[in-house]
Structure 1
C-alpha cells in the first residue's frame, strides 16, 4: 500500500510541499527525487487557475479539487447546485507521467505521456468527490522528464458557448444569448474578419480580426497602435470561413487565449439591442452609434 503524506495548505492555493518563500500560491513546483519510492504526495487545489511542474516524476501526486469560486448569478437566483468545470492544458515538455481524473474512486485518463498540447475539460457537481491523479511512468532515465500543465476552474463555464469542449460551441447564439454576451463576456470587439487559418493538430480555427472599436477586454488580447488587431479561436469542427462585413465579437479567455462565443453582424446586433431597449429588456447598457 502506498504511504500517504499529508501536506499543509499554503494560503488560498495549493497545499505546497517545500514551495518556499515567494512561491506562487496557485502553483506547485517540486521534484520526484524528494519522494519515497511508491509514495503518493497529497496536494489540495483551491485557486481558479494556476500551474503545476513536476520534475523527475516518481511515485504519484494526488490533487484534491476544492476551488473557492464565487456563486453564479443563476445559482443565487434558483439556489440549485451548479457544476464546476475544469480544464487542464499540458506543456509541450509533458513527459514522465500520465494524468487521470479520479471521480468517486474511478480513474479516467486525461493526459497520456507526451500528449498533444490540447486542453482537456471535465465537470462535476459540488457533491461529487473528484481529484487529479498524476502517476509517474517507469523510465530508466528520468533526468529529462518534466510533467507540467496549467489548469483553470470555473463555476459557470457550462453556460458559455466559448468553452471549446462545450456541446453548443458551434451553435449560433439566439437573441437572449447575444444580449447576455455583451454584458458578461471577457471581451467585446467590433471589427471585421481579415483571415481564418486552421490548426489540424489542435483542432482549432484561428480567426484574425481587425478591430474598429474595443468595447471591453479583460486582458490585452487586441493590442493598440494603428488599427488594433488580434486573433480569436473556435473549434475546427465549427467550419468558420472568412466573410465581409462588420461583426460584434464576444467571448472568453481560455488559458490566455480569446475564444469565440457570439459574433452577430453588427447591424443585426443593433436591431436586437434596439428592440430590447425599447421594451426595457436589455440586461445592461451598451453604446450604439
Structure 2
C-alpha cells in the first residue's frame, strides 16, 4: 500500500549509467533503507529506463526540452521482466495506480498481449507527470538479479494521442481522404512503396500484421524495413511488417501500394495505404492546383 506522504531521498546509485534519453541503474542500496526512492530525470521524447536489482522504489520524471505547448501524451511499454511490479503516475503529489497486481491496470489505454503491453496517458497540465515504480517486496528479494523498467515515447500535437490503433475504429479503418493522404505523405514516420506478401491476425493482441515487400523506401524513422535479397525480384528489395487493428479486417490485395504511418516501440503502424496509381493521381492533381504540402520524389 502506498503511503500518502513519500519520503524522497536523492540517491546516486553505484554502477549506473544515464544520458538525456536513457537510464540504467541499481536499486541495491534501496534494500538497506526502505525510505530511499531513486530519482531519475530524462529530457528526450523517447528512450528507456532499466532498473537492475530493483529495491524499494524508483521515480522517473520525463521533461523533454519542448517549446511547443501543444497537447502531449506519453506511452510506455513495460519490460516483460517487470511483471509483479506496480507502476503509478504522480500528478501534483498524488499517485494514480496504472499497473500492478492485483487487479487490472488503472487509467491507461493498453494495447497488446502480456509481453507487449503498451499504455498511454495524457501529459498536459502545469505539472510534469512522473512515473513511480515500486518493486513487489514479496516477489523481489534485495540483491536478486532482475531487470525492471520500460521504454517510453512522447507523442505531440497532430500525432495520435493513443497509438497502436486506439484512435477508434472509424478513424483507424476507413480510407483516407485526399487531404489526409497528402498530409500523411509529408508527416508519416515511414513512406514505402510495396506489395503485400501476406496478412496474419493475432486475436490476443487484437491486431493484424501485413507483411510487405517494398520496392522503394522513401523514408523511415528507424529500421523497421530491412533490405534483403529476393530471388523473384531483379534488384534488392525491402521487407517489413505493418500492424493495424484486427477490426479493420485487412485482406491481401494485388498490385502496388503506398504505405504510410507511424512507428512505435520498433513497430510500424498503418496510416494511409492507397494503391500507388491512385496516390499518383491525387498527388498530380494537388500539385497542379498548388495544394501539395511537400514534394514527393516521383520515379
Aligned to 1:281: 291
Aligned to 2:221: 218
Q: Find the aligned partners of 1:112 and 1:104 in 2 and give their Cα distance.
A: 21
Please, which runs of 5 or more residues in structure 1 have no aligned partner?
8-15, 72-80
User: Which piece of structure 1 moves more, 202-211 or 53-62?
Assistant: 53-62
RMSD over aligned CA atoms reads 2.6
Is the partner of 1:172 in helix, strand or coil? coil
Aligned to 1:158: 159
- Count of paired positions: 271
Aligned to 2:232: none
TM-score of the superposed pair, with normalisation by structure 1? 0.82
User: For each residue in 1:125-158, what CA deviation from the matched residue of structure 2 results, as whole angstroms up to 9, or x when unmatched?
Assistant: 2524421111222216522543221111132363
Aligned to 2:105: none
Is the partner of 1:207 in helix, strand or coil? strand
Please, which runs of 5 or more residues in structure 2 have no aligned partner?
103-113, 230-235
Q: Find the aligned partners of 1:251 and 1:262 in 2 and give their Cα distance.
A: 7
Aligned to 1:186: 189
Residue 117 (structure 1) shift = 2.1
Aligned to 2:147: 146
Q: Find the aligned partners of 1:48 and 1:54 in 2 and give their Cα distance.
A: 19
Residue 179 (structure 1) shift = 0.4
Q: Find the aligned partners of 2:203 and 2:97 in 1 and give their Cα distance.
A: 22
Residue among 93, 97, 110 paired with 2:85: 97
Q: Find the aligned partners of 1:137 and 1:161 in 2 and give their Cα distance.
A: 29
TM-score of the superposed pair, with normalisation by structure 2? 0.80
Aligned to 2:124: 125
2:29 paired with 1:34: yes
Q: 1:244 to 1:253 in 2, by over 3 A?
A: same
CA contact (8 A) 2:9 2:35 kept: no
